[in-house]
Structures are given as C-alpha cells and as structure tokens.
Amino acid sequence: MERTGDTVKKILIVDDEQSFLLSLKDGLGKHKDKIQVLTAENGREAVDILRSLAVDLLVTDLKLPEMNGFELLAWVSRHQPQLPVIVMSAFGTPEIEARLAKMDTLQFLEKPLDLDMLEEGIFNGLNAGGKSFIRGITLATFLQLMKAEKKNCTLKVIADGRPAYLYIRRGELIDAEVGESSGMEAALEIVSWNDAEIEMDGICRRQDDVIKMPMEHLLIEAFKRKDEAAELESSYLADVNGSSSDLNSQDSTALRNENSSSERLTEILTKLAPVLEFAVFDENSFLENKNSGKCSLEGIDPGVFEHLIAPVGGEMNFGPYNSVVFNTANRNRYLLFHSQGQRILTKLKPGTQAQLVIKEVKRYVNR
C-alpha cells in the first residue's frame, strides 16, 4: 500500500471504551493540521481500517473484544511489519525493559493515560522513520506482554522461512519446538531470532511444562546467547553471505506460498453454503484461520483424531487417510480432510455429502 505525500498523518487508536476514544480524539484535535485521528473499538475493526487506509501509526490497548490486542499485533507483524506501534499497557521487569529500551521497537504507555505523554509518543513514533516495528527483535517484547497479561496461546514464529512454535500457559513459556529441537534449547534459539513474524493461536496446544523457567529469566538467557552468537558470527559472515541469501530467498518464497494457500482456503470455505463452521490448521495443529464470528472448532486438536485413525488404517491396510466424516449424538456432522499441506476441520449442514465439499475445495484450489 503506497502512502500519499500528504503532511497530515493518519493515527489509528484502538480501545473498547468509546468515551475514552472520544476524549483522546478531542484532546488531539489541536494537532489536526499534523495528524488525523481514526478510532476502532476492537481488533477486527482495526484490521479492516488497516487494510483499506494507509495508516502511519497504531495506538492500541491489549484488552479488546472480538480480536484482542495480541492478535492485532500478530496481524501487524505479518502484514504491516514497518508500522510504528504504541501499546497502552503496563510492562514487565525493569531489567528486560531497560534492554528493550535500547532498541527501536514498541513504545509502552501505562494506563490511565496521560495525554501529554501520548502526544509525545505519537510524534516520536512518526519521526522514527518507520524504525519502530513488530517483526524481529520484538518477539521478546511480545512474550513480555504475554507474561504481564497471563495469556494462554500458541505462537507460530517464522524467520528466514523456518517455522517454530512457542506454547504459553498463563503467561509462562512451557514448551517450544523448532525442527527436531524442543523444550529449553528450542526456546532459547527461537527467542533470539531476528526479523521474526508472529502468528497467534489463542489456545495453548501443549499440556506439560517442560521448560520450568520464568519468562523473564529465559529472555535474559536468550539475550546473553544472542550477544555471544553475534560476536562469533561477525568473524565469518562475509564468507557465507552469498549462499545464505539464496537459501533465504527460497525459504521466503515457500513461506509466501504457504500463507497464500491458507488464505485461499479460508476464502473458499467461507463461500461454501454447506459449511457452517471451519478451522484451518497447519501440520502441527496450529490454528491458521477460521470462520468469522464464533467457531466451536478452534479449540479442537485435529491431531487427536489422526492418532485414533492411524492405527485402524494400518491394521486394515487402508494406508494414510484422505478424509474422515463423523456424526455426533446431537446430529452434527463433521468433516476432517487435508488440502495444500493443511488440515481442515468443518461442521457441515445435516445431509451434506462430504465428498462434494472436498471436490469443490480442490476445484477452487487448483484453479
């Protein structure tokens, strides 16, 4: 999205209290020759605005209805990573805060909000030349926010085309996974990644706490390792620059294809009348997309069904399954199938022929 040469900058403020939004808009009205204030009362409304307008700075609370502030930040990480962001929230430990203060990253303003401080933060963000961004170094920031808000979630973190997973329960990191590595070693590696994109699934999809280290201690240890690795890397970086850039380019292309595939599936499933609800998962059961509004399927782990189905298929020499249809006692009908490397779980209208749904999905995907 290209920005115009206008001197007036667009500021989007997101908060669920309409009276608070109006007071901020009135208070910032004296700067109308420099900034235009837009408002949204939830994350979903904010995304709609960000999709349609060239916004120059985002100010958001974390506690939002429909799509919370964490999900909004994750969306910005993926789609508009250079957008300056101010978060209205309390922050974590002084040691982590001091470390992150040295970086061009998110600004934090504590509520109740001081208007003069907000004005200063807005103009600082606008004058940063796009240096404030969520991608990369702000993964640690994001985790600190999770800690402060005691969130449950799974984060899919992607850097240089490599996907990884962080499992968070009540604000603490309980497990991590990247390639063949898991647990503490995986967590320390992932947290130290630069230029990482963040996707968020609002459910923690692991049960056991295998890390057993407070979030702030883990982040400090990751920072130490990152500093040590940077010293070693500087000695041979020039020798590997050419080959690694080629690999990164290939990985990024594959990642863009994966993301577009998930979005295309979402568009298709939304249009299919027999599909009442749907959830699209990756191969690690990470929720990538779902139907708008309430979705009863998002909390289900499709891997559980596969663990039940696989032994039966092997015993009867069926081989890997392509699709599974099952009905519940209350006559709900569900379909689980694979497409484009993703697991799709759908709730169908009674009497729907599941194979017709699969056929339609494949027809649109293969266009």
- The CATH number of whichever domain residue 278 belongs to comes to 3.30.450.30
Q: Which ranges constitute the DSSP H helices of the chain?
A: 18-27, 43-52, 69-79, 94-101, 115-126, 139-149, 183-191, 215-233, 237-271, 302-315, 354-365
What confidence score (pLDDT) does residue 4 get? Answer: 44
Nearest to 38 by CA among 71, 75, 9, 17: 9
Average pLDDT over residues 341-353: 87
- State pLDDT tens for residues 294-340: 889 988 888 777 777 766 555 555 555 678 888 887 788 899 988 87
What confidence score (pLDDT) does residue 146 get? Answer: 82
Same-domain pairing of 129 and 212? no
For 83, the 3-state DSSP assignment is coil
Q: How confident is the model at residue 99 (pLDDT cuts 50, 70, 90)?
A: low
Q: How confident is the model at residue 16 (pLDDT cuts 50, 70, 90)?
A: very high
What confidence score (pLDDT) does residue 116 get? Answer: 87
Q: Greater confidence, 82 or 169?
A: 169
CA 326, CA 328: separation in Å to the nearest integer? 7
Average pLDDT over residues 37-52: 95
What confidence score (pLDDT) does residue 185 get? Answer: 92
What confidence score (pLDDT) does residue 144 get? Answer: 81
Same-domain pairing of 46 and 129? yes
How many residues would you count in the chain?
367
Average pLDDT over residues 250-255: 49
Asked if residues 193 and 242 have their Cβ atoms less than 8 Å apart, the reply is no
Task: Describe the strand order of the beta sheet including 162-169 as a list of residue ranges.
Answer: 181-182, 172-178, 162-169, 153-159, 197-201
Same-domain pairing of 104 and 200? no
CA 338, CA 285: separation in Å to the nearest integer? 12
Residue 184 has pLDDT above 90, yes or no: yes
Same-domain pairing of 89 and 169? no
Domain end call among 134, 151, 167 = 134
The whole domain housing 287 covers 261-365
Residue 31 has pLDDT above 80, yes or no: yes
The answer to whether position 252 is within a domain reads no
Q: Greater confidence, 165 or 88?
A: 165
Average pLDDT over residues 95-113: 59
Helices (H) and strands (E) in the chain, counts: 11, 15
DSSP 178-237: ETTEEHHHHHHHHHT-SS-EEEEESS----S----S-HHHHHHHHHHHHHHHHHHHTTTH
CA 346, CA 296: separation in Å to the nearest integer? 10
The answer to whether position 249 is within a domain reads no
Q: Greater confidence, 256 or 211?
A: 211
What confidence score (pLDDT) does residue 133 get? Answer: 37
User: What tokens appear for 299 in the block?
Assistant: 């909390």
Min mean pLDDT across 46-60, 157-171, 304-318 is at 304-318
Residue 10 has pLDDT above 80, yes or no: yes
Q: How confident is the model at residue 258 (pLDDT cuts 50, 70, 90)?
A: low
The residue to which tokens 């390792």 are assigned: 225
Residue 177 has pLDDT above 50, yes or no: yes
Q: Greater confidence, 159 or 255?
A: 159
Same-domain pairing of 268 and 174? no
Q: Residue 99's domain is classified under what CATH number?
A: 3.40.50.2300
How many domains in the chain? 3
| Strand 9-14, strand 57-61: pairing | parallel
Residue 46 has pLDDT above 50, yes or no: yes
Question: For a pLDDT cut of 70, what percent of the chain falls above it?
Answer: 76
pTM beyond cutoff 0.75? no
Strand partners, 343: 281, 338
Same-domain pairing of 122 and 149? no
Same-domain pairing of 189 and 87? no
Residue 162 has pLDDT above 80, yes or no: yes
Count the neighbouring beta carbons within 10 Å of the beta carbon of residue 313.
13
CA 99, CA 144: separation in Å to the nearest integer? 12
247-256 long-range contacts, CB within 8 A, separation 24+? 247/160, 248/160, 248/161, 250/161, 251/160, 251/161, 251/162, 252/160, 252/161, 254/161, 255/158, 255/161
Rounded to whole angstroms, what are the CA distances from 230 to 76, 135, 233? 27, 19, 5
The answer to whether position 309 is within a domain reads yes
Asked if residues 135 and 195 have their Cβ atoms less than 8 Å apart, the reply is yes
Which of 64-68, 143-147, 224-228, 326-330 has maximum average pLDDT? 64-68
CA 204, CA 154: separation in Å to the nearest integer? 5
In one-letter notation, the amino acid at residue 261 is S
What confidence score (pLDDT) does residue 43 get? Answer: 93
CA 185, CA 38: separation in Å to the nearest integer? 43
Peptide bond preceding 163 in cis form (omega within 30 of 0):
no
Asked if residues 64 and 43 have their Cβ atoms less than 8 Å apart, the reply is yes
State the chain's mean pLDDT as an integer.
Answer: 79
Same-domain pairing of 82 and 48? yes
